[in-house]
Structure 1
Amino acid sequence: MAMDDAAWARHANPWSGWSRLSVLPLLSVAAWSRIWLGWGALAPLALVLVWTWANPRLFPPPASTGSWMSRGVLGERIWLTQGTDPAFAHHRPMVRALGLAGALGLGLLLAGLALLAPAPTVAGLAVAMLSKLWLLDRMVWVHRDAGAPGLPPD
């Protein structure tokens, strides 16, 4: 995604974070639309890819970063830059497990989309999305453990 400091600041807006959760469902509908649109399904697929790139850049930086979503996004950035720091070692097993669960869900989702099979599509989407939300909650912990300023007391 090649996000710079400005893009991360904008992505910390809760509107950006919450609307970003639409990517996998929209991608699923775009892939499924090949039934109705044939090769024309490439158009909605392209729109989803544009949305994926543009979303973290569309919203203004938030007035406050105290919301759960803002702290999760900022925690994700901390994790990406400092995740190997020994201070975050206690998060690694859960981050790995949630990453694996998300990857398995994504694999199931992609298989369901390739086969146009509703059950694996929905199951994979659910596993991938729930894993992402749980990982986002873990990133809130990372944000707190990093001693990020402006946090409300626990």
Structure 2
Amino acid sequence: MRFESLAAKYLSMNEDVWQRHANPWSVWTRYTCLPLLIACIWWRDIFGIWFWPVLVALIGWIWINPRCFKKPAQTDSWASQSVLGERILIYQRERVPVHHFKTLDVISALLCVFTAMCVAGLFFHEAISTCCGAIGLILAKTWFLDRMVWIYQEAHRQQGTNQCH
């Protein structure tokens, strides 16, 4: 099972949650999750006993975020289409054109490298590794989301072509 499928499963992403997550507010506010999580872990010694409640609150925000916005009236925004493309990748992988998979492999490798860099930086409390890893993660995730838009648009065009015949 791929990471995307595992994440969807453990975040309990049913049809209603996916539709709500397609709200651009959900996508853009989700960008706060990584920096807040990194800040929490970075300042773990300062937080002391409060580290755990703050960490639990952040994990709660990660779970609640896709659920706390209403379904969007339109899905023509970049953010909405990134979510819809991710759904296609997870649940209808056969609809994803083959030319996307090499790029997705590169993005996955970058996400692994930057995650390791960020985690090592947090573990050793080393600012440059933490920041470079975090910036790399945000950029790689943005590249991933942009690829999901491309996948959605291609699948949407293909579906429209199939319905015309």
Judging by fraction of residues, say which structure has more helix. Answer: 2
**Distance in 1 separating the partners of 2:96 and 2:142:** 23
Pick aligned residue for 1:72 from 61, 82, 90: 82
Aligned twin of 1:119: 128
**Distance in 1 separating the partners of 2:45 and 2:95:** 49
Pick aligned residue for 2:147 from 130, 138, 145: 138
Aligned twin of 2:34: 24
Unaligned stretches of 5+ residues in structure 1 = none
Q: Give the alignment's TM-score, normalised by structure 2.
A: 0.86
**Distance in 2 separating the partners of 1:126 and 1:11:** 23
**Distance in 1 separating the partners of 2:95 and 2:42:** 44
Structure 1 segments of 4+ aligned residues over 4 angstroms from their partners:
none
**Distance in 1 separating the partners of 2:19 and 2:96:** 24
**Distance in 1 separating the partners of 2:95 and 2:30:** 30
Matched pairs, number? 149
Unaligned stretches of 5+ residues in structure 2 = 1-10, 161-165
Q: Secondary structure of 2:97's match?
A: helix
Which letter maps to 1:112?
Answer: G
Residue 147 (structure 1) aligned with residue 156 (structure 2): yes
**Distance in 1 separating the partners of 2:26 and 2:35:** 16
Residue 91 (structure 1) aligned with residue 89 (structure 2): no
Which letter maps to 2:89?
Answer: W
Residue 129 (structure 1) aligned with residue 138 (structure 2): yes
**Distance in 2 separating the partners of 1:101 and 1:39:** 34
Aligned twin of 1:36: 46
* 1:39 shift after superposition: 3.3
Which letter maps to 1:52?
Answer: I
Listed as ranges, the matches of 1:41-56 within 5 Å are: 41-56=51-66
**Distance in 1 separating the partners of 2:109 and 2:126:** 22
Aligned twin of 2:21: 11
**Distance in 2 separating the partners of 1:90 and 1:82:** 16
* 1:42 shift after superposition: 1.1
